[in-house]
Amino acid sequence: MLHYALVFLVIAIIAALFGFTGIAGTAASIAKILFIVFLILAIIAFFRRAS
């Protein structure tokens, strides 16, 4: 999940450099959502492992 978030972040940065603002914004939004999902799953896994 974190890998895909980083891939979309790189796509967003490259698209922004070339001026594709629509694609860059979409890719950045997807990257943010995937990162948040990753954090939630990591916290759940941590607490399930601790108990």
User: In total, how many domains does the chain have?
Assistant: 1
Q: How confident is the model at residue 45, as a pLDDT? A: 95
The span from the CA of 47 to the CA of 41, in Å, is: 10
- Name the DSSP letter for residue 38: H
Amino acid letter, 39: L
pLDDT of residue 50: 84
Could you read off the pLDDT of 33-42 as tens digits, one per residue? Answer: 999 999 999 9
* 31: containing domain: 2-50
- Is pLDDT at 7 greater than 90 in this prediction? yes
Give the separation between CA 40 and CA 23, rounded to whole angstroms.
26
Q: What are phi and psi of 28, to 5 degrees?
A: -65, -40
Task: State both tokens at 39.
Answer: 């954090």
The per-residue pLDDT for 1 is 79
**pLDDT tens string 8-24:** 999 999 999 999 999 99
